[in-house]
A and B are shown apart, each in its own frame.
Chain A
Amino acid sequence: MTALITLTGVNKYYADYHALRDINLTINAGEFFSLLGPSGCGKTTLLRTIAGFEQVTDGVVMIGGADMAAVPANLRPTNMVFQSYAIFPHLSVAENVAFGLRKSKDIDKQTKAEMVEEALTMVGLAGYGKRAAHALSGGQRQRVALARALILKPKVLLLDEPLSALDKKMREQMQVELIRLQRQVGITFILVTHDQEEALVMSDRIAVMFEGEIGQLADPETLYRRPNSRRVASFIGKMNFLEAEVNAVSDVIAIDVEGLGPLQVSLEQAPEPVKQGPAVVGIRPETLGILFEGETTDRKLIDGVVDEVVYYGDMTYYDIRIKGISQAINIAMKNLIGRPVLEVGEAAQVIWDERALVVLN
């Protein structure tokens, strides 16, 4: 893996507002990288900094080993798919796609036309070249925006919330297509999104951002299973939090968790080093279970009462009150054959396992 983009000590201020706080980041060649975070966390600012639309207040942005400080957006080896797609309304689809080829004087007209058709084919819009840009649907606009950027064979493709304007079905389809496209062209993709599921599905690595800082940078599985802080844990997926007290840290962690009692968990279950003293323990709803009649388990059980039921079709989410735990615990259950949907007030036996716990500071 070779580093393609390196950000060192990047800071960005808008007047008094500190939009990016000391960002250090390396993005590798050929990787699908995501910047994930809530609105206003600085993810788009960071992307625009790489594209050259924002100047850093402080710090260095390197792309392909070259300092980008004095390089304007139009000379950077990056291309962007804008959130609004920014399709030129006065040009046809083919003219939009060919827009960036004007400067390539050594390519003749015939070849350019072939390149355009090839790019349109790649995004599934073969034969759409003559259409007017305004006659396209949202999904088609996005494909044109992709073709327009990819035809220039950039080192980096920047995607600014490209799927947020599409409906759910279309979004899921485009996620798969983007992954396929990225593997096909081998270009580094940097995706900005606030949709954690989208980031998990598509990315090789994800940087989770909060208030201008990178909270955690990891691959999707690590991010989901071993979030390093409470805010990352609650931003990505659902997470139950339990108050706990770390008693001792040796080659295992001895911890006393509310409602569950004293336990021993492995050191890997604490993504950040923990010390003796108060801590928080996180546990995902799907790592817990409810013991239904006729089912057995060799894992630990604890008694509770159903507090809330949310039926999703394939899944049912239960909030269960457990003695000694201050907040109701959220549990996700697959609606397998023979499993009833419990009702509020019913007693339930909760299956749990300390291997699923994450210890957070």
Chain B
Amino acid sequence: MDSALIPEGVKRCPTWKFLLALAIAGAVLLWGVVAMLMVWFKGLNQTNMNDYYGFALWIWADLAFIALGGGAFFTGLLRYIFGIKELKNIINYAVLIGFICYSSALLILAIDIGQPLRGWFIFWHANVHSMLTEVAFCLSCYFAVLCIEYLPLVLENRQLDKVPFFHNLSHNMHETMAVFAATGAFLSFFHQGSLGGVAGVLFGRPFAFRTGINIWPWTFFLFTWSAAAYGPCFTLFITWLTEKITGKKLVKDNVVELLAKIAGWMIITYVVAKIIDTVYWATVTAPSLGFKWTFFYSDNPLYGKWILLTEIVLCGIVPGLLLIFGPTRRNPAARVIALLLGVLGVSLNRWVMVLQVMAVPVMSFDKWVLYYPSWQEVATTLLPVAYGVILILISYRYLPIFPQEPELNPIAPYTPANGAEATAGGQAGDESETEAVGQAAPAGA
């Protein structure tokens, strides 16, 4: 039915299957939209937030999505600025995942504010000393960059590409992509950092507060570093998931292993920095404010020392080492476990830096307060997930996301591409212009 839109040289599932998948994701999306409208029309009383939990599930989701979407800027930086050519085979997907994460984060922010119609005040009345202002500006600017990075991919759709202007525009944007990628990396450094700064500057909250350089607390640098380390983990994890669901190999092992190796070193260096930061905070910063570090992990039913160990050891050192050592990196099972642990680790870090900060009592006569989200909060947090699934479904079906797919999955009767079949299992074939398989066919048609 929609075969005219499907890229040449690849096979897609039957339309009914595609529509069924869309319908399932669409149902979750609809549930989220209902909750979102309830929140917008009835107000934030629809949530379980309260005066102790001004920041809760949504802000965590925001921080987590942005950290996980960090794969886009970091892969872009490696591909376009450091010139690691192999990564061109995964950069499209990294950009798509980044696009989904960032658009989701912006949507959640729009739901999270008490007066959504005044959202633009953050730009108009901007207090340039606030970390949140920096986040808002850099996030919006970087989202524009992601749109620019995603657009040429959309224009490469078989039918759109036939329009000469779109074809030329897409070509020109590819040519200048390094400039956009550099700008994206610059903006990402600042907004990932300012998200860390959001917690780190809270000198009234000893659990979050960090010293640092000039106006930037240590969490500023830790957040940027962790996004660059764990973002690619998420990109690779979703790539693996996509391969499992489609039942196809989409990216060659050497590409995956290269990015995994880089992520592994980034994670290990980050964890070392995180440990130094934690030790300094526990032995110098917190005691100077009158708190023993164990105070933050005791006398409450949830936040124990386990959370610190899980974050640093199980979801930090372990995945880092698994990805650094060749044998475990090359083992698909070990690699996926490492990627998943990484994704959980950065999400846990963001949880701690938002939710635990709110839970800890500061005044000596105050008490721990825990919180659980309302269904409206859960639904609006799943909304972007469903939207992401839908966008991936559509993009995968109609756009040439994975340049190596035709080569790795040759279609039997497609005889002119027999050459591609011969190199399908090869590791050295990534320099061949696999995109040309998709591009040359419509020109001849």
Bound together: no
